[in-house]
Every structure is written in C-alpha cells, then in structure tokens.
Amino acid sequence: MRTQIKNKVRWPSAVLLVTALACEQEQSRLPTPDVVATSRYIEYSTWADPTLLCMDSQLAAADLFVEKTAAFLHSDPPPVSSIRYIHVPESLQDPARTWPCPSSIGACFLREGRVLDDRSAIYSPRPMHWHELVHAVAHHAIGRGGHWVIREGLADYLSQAGSTGAILEDFPQALKDDLEREEPSSDYRMATHFVGSVIERYGIARFKQFVARLDSDDRWEGVSSAYALEFGQDLEAALAEMALAPITLKGLFECEGEAIPWTSDGELDVTLTGTCGDPFYVSPGVAEETPGAFKTYVFDVSESAMYEFSLTSSNPGTVYGMLQNCDFRASWWVALDEARSVPLEPGKHVLSVGFPYGDDMLGELDFRLSRLAP
Ligand SMILES: [Zn+2]
C-alpha cells in the first residue's frame, strides 16, 4: 500500500496566540502538522515538505518493532494509532513553533497531555527512532518508569546492539552518580548496563515489580531501598557484582537492507539505486540540508582487513553514507566524494545512505569499498 498524502504542511493560525503563553502551556499547545501516513500503531506527521513522502516500509518495520518490544515487556501492544510521530528535520527545529524537546537533546518522547491530549508523541529528526519508540511502548507496558536511569536504560537496552564491556570499570560509582542526578546525563551507557543486568538476573516480571516500587523523584536512597525490598540485596553489593560481567544489548530492530554482492575479491563497486516501493527505501519529508531519501543495504565481510570506503554521484545534493557492522560496535560516515579508510572485521555489515533528492524520487549513488591491506 502506498503512503497516502493528505495535506501539505501549513502553520495553524494558533501559532500567533501560542507565543503569548507561558512556557509550560506553550509546550502543550504547540501546533502539530497534519497526519500524512499511518500504520497500525503510528500516526506519522512531518514539518518537512511531505509531497514525495514514502514511509510505508519504515512504518511497517516500526509496527513490528513495537510488537517485539511489547512482547519482550510481557505486555499487549499499545492501542491502535496511539503513537503520534512528529518528524522535525534539524533545519526546521524551532522551540516556539515546532520543537518541544529540551534544547540539549536530539529527540524526545512526550506523554499524552503534553502536546496532544489523547496520545503520546515522539519528536525526532530521524525518519524513525527506535529508542523513542521503546519509550512509547514502555509507557503503555510499565507506566511512568521511575527514575530516568530506568527509562533511558531500558530504551537503549532494547533499541541498540553491542556489549557493555567497555564501561565496567567505572560502573558502580558512575551509576551511583547517575541515580543522584535529577536530569538525564548525555551518556546512557551506565543506565543501560544496570537495566540489562537486572533483567538478565531476575527476568521481566521481577523488573516490572521493581519499577512499580519507584517514584520519578527517587534518588540513590529511594532506588536502593526499592532494590533491597524487591530483590533482597543491598544495591551497592549488587552493583559491584554487575561490574564483573558485560551484558549484550537486545537490538530488537533488524539489521537488514537490500543485499549487495562483492564485485570481485576484496572489491565492491556498485551503483546503488532506490525508489519508493523498494522494501528498504524511505522518504520522510524533504527539508533543506537533509537528503531527500534514505535506503539501507547489507553485505558480508569475510576477513579482517583495511578498506577504502567512498560514495560518489553525478547528482549533487546533501548526501552521506554510514557503514556499520551489525553488532553496531563501530560506525563510519562519509560525505559525497569523500573517501576514508575503515578497518572491517568478518560479519554482516549494513550501509545506510542518504540519496540526492530529485523530483522523480529515484536515488542513485556509486558505492565503492576496496581492500587496502593486507
Ligand atoms: Zn530516551
């Protein structure tokens, strides 16, 4: 089913009224752009130009992610159409009109009553944002979620991949510091290790019981007494134990894309094309300084080596590519006509590209990966 385009974006006349209100009210009365695409759980709207919108495959993937996340949390999925997703490219983010998130963070989830009375809303510059979707599902499945360490740790635990091995040394004291902070820090890795460790030790049912004992204004003292009540262990001792073993993040989204074959041994040289209707192509709305569309590709690397990675196109525009291995331990970016050396290890890799924008919605890029050494 093709995405239906209902209306072009327009500024509601309420904008002028809004600027006179106090901050909290202003946030709750920000205008919202029209819904331009829907899936089972999501109503999608964008402050970008939605004329050439292509969101069906992305929204289908988001529905699947919502269901997997709910199942992981031993919950029914949230009600149909209960999540409003508002795409706001960075060049269009304006706190007075389009952007209610705190200025220090790149995206946010707002409960019902904050922007829309009857449903929660996600604001993000990305076409889809798995971390914020976890917040929406968890809000339905486990309620307010207590301290930010629990909410943010859970969102990263389910929406990212990889291991927490690199942070263990500092973990006990750093988590204690996080639990004393009222506002989230910019680094969720300690929170993620804590939430993942609790879930791995005790399972989801006990984790939910623990969360139900927490208030959002709890600090170290409140969280440690809830921990002792639920699990019968001193939190300080538990953190010392958790620092001994890394956990693996769940990564409930799929590392998937259109498969691209190697051209020859150690050489991958291919013209990438994408158009609406391809399973891994998405056009979230068009704005200045962003690519018009995105697509993901996958390929396998058979041996460890240093490669040169480049993207070129005869059609200029704001274009980039991001290369990652599927455990997401490392990522490398290139802009159009750039080349960089990347150390790749055996395994499945995913390439995300932003296509130059054209009226035909057809993207075209040349992608090259060639082995430098050994
Ligand atoms: Zn978050």
Question: Do 137 and 157 share a structural domain?
Answer: no
Residue 117 Cα to ligand 1 midpoint, Å, equals 21
**pLDDT of amino acid 358:** 65
- Which among 212, 218, 166, 217 is positioned nearest to 192, based on CA atoms? 166
Neighbours of 247 (CB within 10 A): 21
Mean pLDDT, the chain, integer: 87
**pLDDT of amino acid 3:** 35
CA distance 53 to 79: 25
Neighbours of 63 (CB within 10 A): 17
- What is the rounded average pLDDT of the residues 298-314? 92
Residue 185 Cα to ligand 1 midpoint, Å, equals 11
Is 30 among the domain residues? yes
Question: Do 125 and 23 share a structural domain?
Answer: yes
Residue 313 Cα to ligand 1 midpoint, Å, equals 36
Is 4 among the domain residues? no
**pLDDT of amino acid 357:** 65
Q: Which two tokens stand for residue 63?
A: 């529905």
The answer to whether 77 touches 133, Cβ cutoff 8 Å, is: no
User: What residues contact 17, with CB distance under 8 A and at least 6 apart?
Assistant: none
Is 250 among the domain residues? no
User: Residue 207's domain spans which residues?
Assistant: 150-242
User: What pLDDT, in 10s, does the model give residues 267-296?
Assistant: 999 999 888 999 999 999 988 877 788 999
CATH of the domain at 264: 2.60.120.380
Residue 312 Cα to ligand 1 midpoint, Å, equals 35
Residue 308 Cα to ligand 1 midpoint, Å, equals 34
**pLDDT of amino acid 13:** 30
Residue 209 Cα to ligand 1 midpoint, Å, equals 21
Domain boundary, last residue among 214, 242, 270 = 242
Residue 138 Cα to ligand 1 midpoint, Å, equals 11
Residue 108 pLDDT greater than 90, yes or no: yes
Question: Do 184 and 93 share a structural domain?
Answer: no
The answer to whether 43 touches 83, Cβ cutoff 8 Å, is: yes
Is 251 among the domain residues? no
Domain boundary, last residue among 195, 214, 242 = 242
Question: Do 272 and 366 share a structural domain?
Answer: yes
Residue 103 Cα to ligand 1 midpoint, Å, equals 14
Is 2 among the domain residues? no
Is 8 among the domain residues? no
Question: Do 237 and 266 share a structural domain?
Answer: no
Residue 155 Cα to ligand 1 midpoint, Å, equals 6
User: What residues contact 214, with CB distance under 8 A and at least 6 apart?
Assistant: 145, 146, 147, 150, 222, 223, 226
Residue 187 Cα to ligand 1 midpoint, Å, equals 11
User: What pLDDT, in 10s, does the model give residues 330-344?
Assistant: 789 998 889 999 999
Burial of 341: CB neighbours in 10 Å, binned 0-12, 13-18, 19+: exposed
- What is the rounded average pLDDT of the residues 106-117? 88
Q: Which two tokens stand for residue 193?
A: 């290790």
Question: Do 59 and 91 share a structural domain?
Answer: yes
Question: Do 107 and 34 share a structural domain?
Answer: yes
Residue 162 Cα to ligand 1 midpoint, Å, equals 18
Using alpha carbons, list the distances in angstroms from residue 262 to 129, 173, 205, 239, 267: 30, 47, 46, 46, 6
Q: What is the pTM of this model?
A: 0.86
Question: Do 296 and 319 share a structural domain?
Answer: yes
Residue 201 Cα to ligand 1 midpoint, Å, equals 23
- What is the rounded average pLDDT of the residues 223-231? 97
Burial of 121: CB neighbours in 10 Å, binned 0-12, 13-18, 19+: buried
Residue 310 Cα to ligand 1 midpoint, Å, equals 33
Using alpha carbons, list the distances in angstroms from residue 353 to 80, 282, 347, 367: 31, 11, 20, 10
Residue 157 pLDDT greater than 50, yes or no: yes
Residue 270 Cα to ligand 1 midpoint, Å, equals 37
Question: Do 124 and 169 share a structural domain?
Answer: no
User: What pLDDT, in 10s, does the model give residues 90-102?
Assistant: 999 999 999 999 8
Using alpha carbons, list the distances in angstroms from residue 359 to 37, 147, 336, 356: 20, 47, 20, 10
Which residue shows structure tokens 């992608």? 367
Is 252 among the domain residues? no
**pLDDT of amino acid 247:** 93
User: What residues contact 156, with CB distance under 8 A and at least 6 apart?
Assistant: 131, 188, 189, 191, 192, 249
**pLDDT of amino acid 194:** 98
Question: Do 367 and 263 share a structural domain?
Answer: yes
**pLDDT of amino acid 361:** 64
Which residue shows structure tokens 């049912």? 205
Residue 55 Cα to ligand 1 midpoint, Å, equals 23
Domain boundary, last residue among 81, 109, 143 = 143
DSSP at 165: G
Residue 368 pLDDT greater than 90, yes or no: yes
Is 253 among the domain residues? no
User: What residues contact 211, with CB distance under 8 A and at least 6 apart?
Assistant: 142, 143, 145, 146, 150
- Which among 236, 237, 162, 156 is positioned nearest to 192, based on CA atoms? 156
Residues having C-beta closer than 5 Å to ion ligand 1: 152, 155
Question: Do 100 and 33 share a structural domain?
Answer: yes
User: What pLDDT, in 10s, does the model give residues 18-29?
Assistant: 322 333 334 456
Strand-by-strand arrangement of the 35-38 sheet: 35-38, 42-46, 83-87, 120-124, 108-110
Residue 192 Cα to ligand 1 midpoint, Å, equals 11
User: What pLDDT, in 10s, does the model give residues 39-90?
Assistant: 999 999 999 999 889 999 999 999 999 999 999 999 999 999 999 999 999 9
Residue 235 pLDDT greater than 60, yes or no: yes
Total domains in the fold of the chain: 3
Residue 85 Cα to ligand 1 midpoint, Å, equals 14
Residue 83 Cα to ligand 1 midpoint, Å, equals 15
Phi, psi of 156 (to 5 degrees): -75, -35
* Bridge partners, residue 122, by sequence: 85, 109
Residue 109 Cα to ligand 1 midpoint, Å, equals 7
Residue 189 Cα to ligand 1 midpoint, Å, equals 12
